[in-house]
Amino acid sequence: MAGTSLEPSIQAIGRALYRRARAHPPALYAGRRQALERAVGDDRLRDALFQFVDVLPQLRDAAAIAAHFNAYLGHFELGGLFGRALRLGTHAWMAPLLRATVARMARLFMVEETEAALAAALSRLARLPAGVSLDALGETVLSEAEADAYAARIVKLLGWLAAARAQRPDISIKLSALTPRFDSIDPAGSVDRVLGRLDPLCDEAARTGASLTLDMENHDSRPLVLAVFRRLAERPGPAPGVALQGYRPDAEADLRSLLELPWLAARPLRVRLVKGAYWDSEVALATQRFWPLPVYTDKAATDAQFERLSALLFGAGERVYPMIASHNLRSLAHALALARSLGRAPDSWEVQMLHGMADPLAAAVIGEGARLRVYLPVGDLVGGIAYLIRRLLENTASTSVLRQTYLEDSPPERLLAPPRPALQEANAGQGFSNAPVSDFTLDASRRAMRDALAAAKRGRDYPLHAALREAASGRWQDSRNPAAPAEVLGRVELAGPAHAARAIRRAVEAFPAWRETSVAERARLSRRVADILHARRHELAAWQVLEVGKAWREADADVAEAIDCWNFYADAAERLAGWRSTRDFPGEANAMRYESLGPTAVIAPWNFPLAILSGMSAAALVCGNPVIMKPATPASINACALHAILLEAGFAPTVAQLLPGDGASLGPLLAGHPDVAAIAFTGSREVGLALLEQAHRTHPQQRRIKRVVCEMGGKNAIIVDEDADLDDAVTHILASAFDYQGQKCSAASRLISVGRVHERLLARLADALASWPLGPPTDPQYRFGPLIGAQAVAKAQRYLEIGRAEGTLVYRGKAPADGHYFAPAILADIQPQHRLAREEIFAPILAVLHAPDFDTALAWANDSDYALTGGVFSRLPEHLDAAQRRFRVGNLYLNRGITGARVGIQPFGGTALSGTGVQAGGEDYLGQFLWSRVVSRNQLRHGHVAGTGSQREGVTRPQARP
Ligand code: NAD
């Protein structure tokens, strides 16, 4: 923080600013004070207003507007225009009226993208006087075509600025709008792609006499913005400016490293210092991912760092041109005091403010002798709405100085008080918490993954466990890389029927001791597995990339889920352990406890090689059941790695056995064997249903009814309602339908569009998909890789032909020649009865159905043999509520992607022919691996009641976690 010697000057300048600024309210507050006070005082109303404004641009007719208006605002007592509009109901002219009101509001903060409107705004700014930085507002860029359009707009705006002879013209560039593939997992590629479009813009800016400033966006893109900035700044010619965000604790380190750039002697470094505009989403996303928060949670900490960074900028002398972007009286007074104390010339730094946010404060700053630049967004109402909402939120947040100054009449002493950060509270969680996925924006994470891939030792042999190998099976299977099938990753010895019989015998022998092992001990081993998985997460993820063709993030998430399974079920088992009383009577003690089932066959699919094998095995083991794990052959090496970790953790080789081999021969042997007590299966419907039949056919020597856990496929639908936010919908559909090439049971394979959204949705989705080439998943620039094998490609090809006959192919990608690649496809005009709408394909083929209205869409979505996952994008609360009530799938996701369920948060599994309806990763799951036993003990002895309460004979409390 600046030295206290500045304090008197800050206070004096601050009071002068305050006096000047207080004289007039900003345009937003003029004439709206009452309405804003109302909105500000009522969080629900504020929230409802923003949600309504958010959806408004996409609503096409009066009925739709009225429905949304009523849904969001109908239950508030509203006066003024909104109140009148509410009473008008669906009157035809309500729509234009509301639109005009919102447009008027938007124009306070932005200008419409026409040359005339911009010229008028520029001449107003010139009279202030103020320079300008334009920001081209728009939708999220999801395709190359959209990125081209953004770049073309910048060129056009540069031309308009030149024609209007704007003062100190500048354009703020959002780098995420220059390529749809702006991803820190691939920094070099992302930077090159951005520069491909940015270089010509730099030339054009230089030619027209404008400067460029790179905006800072969110956590994920920060390293890329800095990298692009460094690359541009290394070159001769004018360097762009760059924004830094005061709410990021690491902004100081970023600034210090920029200050060491060698070229600073020749050209000043232009840094725009902002507080940061993405606080809500940064906190939400980091919390959801269990990542450390990348931003301060304490506003005062941000303010204090803003002052520190200002001091650093000014302290660097003429090498730096500080651009202090704030509407905070204290921050501005601080910067002015610094500049004066250092004798800075007025043209050696500037203040920046957003258009329309604080005109009186802007005038006051100019009055104090500072140079001003106004950040002026241009665009249309649709594109600008997100921006408008951010500004309105900022203006009405309780920490907003503008709100405090103009609505709450805070005294200047309060507004000018030095920021005093509170101590950050450590977030000490208790009990289970999910393992965070890796943050691949960090160099260290990417390096760890690259190193693990390089170190993965190819060509090893994986023999059967010694105890199973009375004689070698002699049958070995090559495990190959699906992206390069000529590459043999290793050889796995396959078990045959004799090995299966031996494994069952050993499990039967091991059962009594394992059943009697304390739950605390079983849980300890389970947590130990989690710890080892954690320590070796990159190595394990690398093997998934190699053996089953997962992209880095997908592989990493699978390892994280596996870790969660071992930890979560350990906790859950401890909660169920021991005797507990059911109902006490004088003279009668009733107690129950859960018991283990016995040897359990775990039959797993290849698509989540660690997580699903882990989930079923961990649940069985912590419940006291020895397991025989039968992995899917395409993921055999991954299974061998997991098995080795179980033994390393301390599970006895008789309690945790691995039986790699062919499912069609080993599966029925395990399922039908009289000594196998339970079968935990996850895989296809065909195999699952057959297993159910086998398991329920009683064998002559059989002494129990087998338990079958059976999780099968899906034909999951996403409904996109007419009013959906397409930026979100397209982003999430892309991930849900095409990540891991659609090879997830939860993947979206039906897209049901409602009404008029259809054409635009399809066009944006196809363009977005076209932006992502396919390639080997070892290289993180490729989001999409190969299918698991040649058979999967052939099956996808067959369904593509069926789809062509049933509907219309609207998009087909390109696939590399070698490897088991299948180019993604989108087929439209599919009808609910078509095979493409009914059968699980397990490939990147999306069937699109076009429903006339939301009810029909819901009916189609439910009309399936499967009921696993589903999704709805809508901004009409009653549609979301209807989906919640009536869209009967195991996991329903509203306004988000439909894959990636997390242990303990979204217990996962379906009903109908998708599964038994008991969800994995949830509280009920362990019940499937246990049976319950009740003991009733009479304690009346000749009229005397023996023992009372907790001292009753035989009843103990549930075992606590050690
Ligand atoms: P799959 O049914 O072909 O194989 C699953 C397991 O069963 C493998 O270990 C396989 O070797 C074994 N198997 C094969 N034939 C068998 C038989 N006759 N008897 C006993 N076992 C046999 O499935 P897959 O291709 O490995 O996985 C993809 C399928 O799994 C998809 O249908 C997908 O939807 C489903 N899946 C479901 C979930 C879920 O949680 N519901 C999760 C992942 C995958």
What is the CA(487)–ligand 1 centre distance, in A? 25
* Residue whose CA is at the smallest distance from ligand 1 atom 9: 632
Distance from the CA of 792 to the center of ligand 1, in angstroms? Answer: 13
Q: Which of 711, 722, 806, 840 is catalytic?
A: 711
* Mean pLDDT value across residues 395-411: 74
571: CA distance to ligand 1 center in Å? 28
Most ligand 1 atoms within 8 A of CB, residue of 633, 682, 716, 864 to mutate = 682
Q: C-alpha angle with apex 140: 134 to 145, nearest 5 degrees?
A: 95
DSSP letter assigned to residue 492: E
CA 761 to chain centre: 21
- Amino acid found at 68: H
Determine if ligand 1 sits within 6 Å of the CB of residue 606. yes
Question: What residue's CA is closest to ligand 1, atom 40?
Answer: 711
Ligand 1 pocket member 687 (CB < 6 A): yes
**Residue in this structure with the two tokens 């600034």, named with its chain if needed:** 255
Q: What is the mean pLDDT of residues 67-88?
A: 73
- For residue 906 and ligand 1, the question of a CB distance below 6 A is answered with no
Q: Indicate the pLDDT class of residue 162, thresholds 50, 70 and 90.
A: very high
Q: Say whether 711 is catalytic.
A: yes
The one catalytic residue in 202, 640, 710, 745 is: 745
Average pLDDT along the chain:
91
The Å distance, Cα 349 to ligand 1 centre, comes to: 65
Give yes or no for residue 841 CB within 6 A of ligand 1.
Answer: no
Please report the pLDDT score of residue 428 as a whole number.
46
Q: Which residue's alpha carbon is at the smallest distance from atom 10 of ligand 1?
A: 663
Res. 620 pLDDT band, cuts 50 70 90? very high
d(CA 101, CA 80): 12
930 in ligand 1 pocket by Cβ < 6 Å? no
C-alpha 594 – ligand 1 centre gap (Å): 29
- Is 915 close to ligand 1, i.e. is its CB under 6 Å away? yes
C-alpha 605 to ligand 1 mean position (Å): 4
Kindly tell me if the per-residue pLDDT of 786 is higher than 60: yes
Q: Does any ligand 1 atom lie closer than 6 A to the CB of residue 712?
A: yes
Q: Is the distance from CB of 883 to CB of 868 less than 8 angstroms? A: no
Q: Per residue in 742-776, is it b (16+ CB within 10 Å) or e — as a string?
A: bbbbbbbbbbbbbbebbeebbbbbbbbbbbbebbb
Give the DSSP per-residue string, 353-413. Answer: EETTT-HHHHHHHHHTT--EEEEEEEE-HHHHHHHHHHHHHHHHSTT-HHIIIIIS---HH
Q: Which of 225-234, 333-342, 605-614, 656-665 has the lowest mean pLDDT?
A: 225-234
Q: Is 176 in the pocket of ligand 1 (CB under 6 A)?
A: no
For atom 19 of ligand 1, which residue has the closest CA? 667
Q: Does residue 630 line the site of ligand 1, with CB under 6 A? A: yes
Q: Which ligand 1 atom is the nearest neighbour of the CA of 668?
A: 19
Positive or negative torsion for Cα 499, 501, 507, 512: negative
**Ligand 1 site, residue 664, Cβ cutoff 6 A:** yes
Task: Name the one residue in this structure whose structure tokens are 């241009």.
Answer: 378
- What's the pLDDT score for residue 951? 45
> What's the gap in Å between 671 CA and the centre of ligand 1?
14
**How much distance in Å is there from the Cα of 789 to the middle of ligand 1?**
15
Residue of 801 and 702 predicted with greater confidence: 801
Residue 241, ligand 1, Cβ within 6 A: no
pLDDT the model gives residue 725 = 94
Nearest-angstrom CA–CA distance, 684 and 883: 27
- 667 pocket-lining for ligand 1 (C-beta < 6 Å): yes
If one residue of 477, 479, 603, 691 were mutated to test the ligand 1 pocket, choosing by the most ligand atoms within 8 A of its CB, it would be 603
SS3 category, 910 = coil
Nearest CA to ligand 1 atom 42: 745
| pLDDT of 701 | 85
Confidence of residue 57 (pLDDT cuts 50, 70, 90): confident
In this predicted structure, the answer to whether residue 1 has a pLDDT above a threshold of 70 is: no
Ligand 1 contact via 882 beta carbon (within 6 Å): no
Query: In the predicted model, what is the mean pLDDT of residues 206-223?
Result: 95
pLDDT of residue 723 exceeding 80, the answer is yes
Q: Is the CB of 740 under 6 A from ligand 1?
A: no
Distance 604 CA to ligand 1 centre (A): 6
pLDDT (0 to 100) of residue 25: 76
Write the residue with the smallest CA distance to atom 32 of ligand 1: 684
Q: Is 487 a known active-site residue?
A: no
Contact 171, 134 (CB under 8 A): yes
The pLDDT of residue 962 is 31
Region 454-468: what's the mean pLDDT?
Answer: 94
Q: Establish whether residue 615 lines the binding site of ligand 1, counting it when its CB lies within 6 angstroms of any ligand atom.
A: no
Name which of 622, 704, 707 is nearest 656 in CA terms.
622
The pLDDT of 790-810, averaged and rounded, is 98
Cα 614 to middle of ligand 1, angstroms = 15
CB of 840 shorter than 6 A to ligand 1: yes
**802-856 confidence digits (pLDDT tens):** 999 999 999 999 999 999 999 999 999 999 999 999 999 999 999 999 999 999 9
Please, which pLDDT band fits residue 79 given cuts at 50, 70 and 90?
Answer: low
Q: Are 100 and 93 in contact (CB under 8 A)?
A: no
Best residue among 479, 548, 607 to mutate for probing ligand 1, ranked by most atoms within 8 Å of CB: 607
Residue 233 structure tokens: 């700044």
Give the distance (Å) from ligand 1 centre to CA of residue 683.
Answer: 2
Q: Dump pLDDT digits (tens) for 83-141.
A: 666 666 556 677 777 777 777 778 888 999 999 999 999 999 999 899 999 999 988 99
Give 257 Cα–ligand 1 centroid separation in angstroms: 52
Q: From the CA of 713, how far away is ligand 1's center (Å)?
A: 9
By alpha-carbon position, which residue is closest to atom 14 of ligand 1? 663
C-alpha of residue 699 to centroid of ligand 1, in Å: 24
Predicted confidence at residue 403, as pLDDT, reads: 76
Is the shortest distance between the CB of 691 and ligand 1 below 6 Å? Answer: yes
Verify whether ligand 1 is closer than 6 Å to residue 240 (CB atom).
no
Instruction: Check pocket membership of 268 for ligand 1, CB cut-off 6 A.
Output: no
Q: Is 550 exposed, middle or buried (0-12, 13-18, 19+ CB in 10 A)?
A: buried
Place of tokens 């924004």: 243
- Average pLDDT of the segment spanning 17-29: 81
Structure tokens at 852: 């006339």
Q: Is 374 in the pocket of ligand 1 (CB under 6 A)?
A: no
Q: Is 72 helix (H, G, I), strand (E, B) or coil?
A: helix
**pLDDT average, residue stretch 502-525:** 98
Nearest CA, atom 20, ligand 1: 667
Percent of the chain's residues with pLDDT above 70: 93
- pLDDT of 76: 79
**550, 684, 697, 908: residue to mutate for ligand 1 pocket, most atoms within 8 A of CB:** 684
Mean pLDDT of 578-595: 93
Q: Ligand 1 mean position to 488 CA, how many Å?
A: 23
CB contact at 8 A, 523 and 465: no
pLDDT at 595: 97
Query: What pLDDT score does 270 carry?
Result: 94
Span 862-897, pLDDT tens digits:
999 999 999 999 999 999 999 999 999 999 999 999
Identify the burial level of 898 via C-beta atoms within 10 angstroms of its C-beta, where 0-12 means exposed, 13-18 middle and 19 or more buried. buried
Summarised one tens digit per residue, pLDDT across range 182-199 is 999 999 999 999 999 999
Counts for the chain of helices (H) and strands (E), in that order: 32, 31
Residue whose CA is at the smallest distance from ligand 1 atom 34: 713
Q: Is 447 exposed, middle or buried (0-12, 13-18, 19+ CB in 10 A)?
A: exposed
**Residue 465 in 3-state DSSP?**
coil
Closest atom of ligand 1 relative to the 711 alpha carbon: 41
The answer, yes or no, to whether any atom of ligand 1 lies below 6 A from the CB of 254, is: no
Atom of ligand 1 nearest to the CA of 788: 25
The ligand 1 atom at the shortest distance from the C-alpha of residue 608 is 43
279 contacts: CB under 8 Å, gap ≥ 6: 247, 295
> In the prediction, which pLDDT does 85 show?
62
